[in-house]
Amino acid sequence: MSTPNVVDVVIFGGGIAGLWTLARLRRAGYSAVLLESGALGGIQTIAAQGIIHGGTKYALSGAVSDATQAIGDMPQRWRNCLAGEGELDLSRVRVLSRHQYLWSTEGIGSRMTGFFASKLMRSRMSAVDGAERPEPFQSAAFKGSVYRLEEPVLDLPSLVAELARQQGDGCFSIQPERVQLDPADPGCLKIEMPTGLLTLQAQQLVLAAGAGNQALLKKLGRKTPQMQRRPLHMLMARGPLPRLYAHCLGASANPRLTITSYPLAENEAVWHLGGQVAESGVTRDEIEHIAAGKAELAALLPWLDLNDVSWAARRIDRAEIATPGGKRPDSWHVDSQQGVITAWPTKLAFAPCLATDVLRCLEQSGIKPGNGDCTALADLPRPPLAQPPWNEVKIWN
């Protein structure tokens, strides 16, 4: 196969960034293909909590940061898509909750944090009382405050499945060692096919492979942009739990605990636990971390019966653009250099912004939609869909 097969764009990575970008590019008329070495939605996307943040939790310290401003429009942008009226049609995606909540305990620090957040983000949140509160906060034992946020929570397996349904004919499974990249001509890919070596010529590469971007950049002989990893130790609790989508306010700028729920069988759900407990848990082993999670829930929701609840823990690395001191980036990152666009979304909610910037980079580089053909890749298998983390757990404690 000496004659190159031509496409406009090759995307590496089938997480939310790669899938959203593929959809936007193809909708704009570009011939684009996506190469994935594992499962669609794997690693970071499927491990997320499904929250489409609007920046409220970033204002908890009482100051509107760059992160707050960057993410403020995301819930409405996603809601448009979920209604079938946005840049993508996500009307088939399952929404677990139209809102999430903030709750504060009786502590002075928590009450002050809630006060500042409500003042700064008044248009995005409102206080709720009595029967309007989620079930765990209707107990007479609860003495704090609850705010409702206009930020939806999505069923991530449903989201990935819908994007795959729409764009699956452009997604191919290939192991990294079967793809040769040329630093001198990054758009020229040599792919080991069942029938021989295929030459695929692209006008542009898009690296959206999360942590995999580091290895891809190395294969291309590039030292920039640099990547960082920020680890988390997430907790999962499974049993007869009420549905809850909420952040517990602490005295710091980060939520003390973030809870999202995934309904399973009748009267059974998985609670996915993040926030500060996941940040601090990176130094603990699984048994210690589960004990810490139990203690945190007992302290924050002491009236909740956890006797029939099973526990598991899972480590995850967030791959992002490197920042001074390894701090969380304020927003998504898209870098365009000599035929290669490298991108990290930072958060699930930022995927639309990332894809828009990739389109802008192509336009600024003078790359226009062509008439590429990806039929030569048809012999490659299709990547499977990632399973949610609670389905991957073998033993629950």
Q: What is the pLDDT of residues 328-369, one digit of tens each?
A: 898 999 999 999 999 999 999 999 999 999 999 999 999 999
The pLDDT of residue 330 is 86
pLDDT in tens, 35-64: 999 999 999 999 999 999 887 655 555 555
The pLDDT of residue 1 is 42
The pLDDT of residue 226 is 97
pLDDT band at 234 (very low <50, low <70, confident <90, very high): very high
pLDDT band at 113 (very low <50, low <70, confident <90, very high): low
**pTM higher than 0.85, yes or no?**
yes
Residues of the chain with pLDDT > 90, as a percent, come to: 80
The pLDDT of residue 280 is 94
Q: In whole numbers, what is the pLDDT of the chain averaged over residues?
A: 91
User: Which of 365, 355, 364, 363 minimizes the C-alpha distance to 334?
Assistant: 355
Report whether 45 contacts 348 (CB < 8 A): yes
Q: Which domains does the chain have, with CATH numbers?
A: 5-45+159-226+323-392 (3.50.50.60), 98-153+229-318 (3.30.9)
CA distance 32 to 149: 37
Q: In the numeric block, which tokens belong to residue 382?
A: 């299709």
pLDDT band at 325 (very low <50, low <70, confident <90, very high): very high
The pLDDT of residue 298 is 95
pLDDT band at 117 (very low <50, low <70, confident <90, very high): low
> Residues 305-314: what's their mean pLDDT?
96
The stretches of 130-200 forming alpha helices (DSSP H) are 156-167
User: Which of 48, 95, 55, 96 minimizes the C-alpha distance to 75?
Assistant: 55
The pLDDT of residue 54 is 84
pLDDT in tens, 266-298: 889 999 999 999 999 999 999 999 999 999 999
User: Which of 151, 1, 141, 138 minimizes the C-alpha distance to 74?
Assistant: 151
The pLDDT of residue 347 is 93
CA distance 140 to 158: 36
Q: Has residue 210 got a pLDDT over 90?
A: yes
The pLDDT of residue 225 is 98
Buried b (16+ CB within 10 A) or exposed e, 293-330: beebbeebbeebebeebebbbbebbbbbbeeeeeeebb
CA distance 93 to 52: 13
CA distance 156 to 139: 30
Rounded to the nearest 10 degrees, what angle do helices 156-167 and 16-27 cross at? 40
pLDDT band at 371 (very low <50, low <70, confident <90, very high): confident
pLDDT in tens, 125-164: 788 998 999 999 999 999 889 999 999 999 999 999 999 9
Q: How far is CA 84 from CA 73, 236, 389, in A?
A: 17, 32, 28
pLDDT in tens, 57-99: 555 555 555 555 667 889 999 999 999 999 999 999 999 999 9
The pLDDT of residue 122 is 52
The pLDDT of residue 114 is 54
Using left for φ > 0, alpha for ψ between -120 and 50, and beta otherwise, residue 141 falls in: alpha
Please give the DSSP secondary-structure letter assigned to residue 169.
Answer: G
Q: In the numeric block, which tokens belong to residue 72?
A: 């403020």
Q: Which position has the higher pLDDT, 217 or 109?
A: 217
> Residues 172-196: what's their mean pLDDT?
95
> Residues 357-383: what's their mean pLDDT?
94
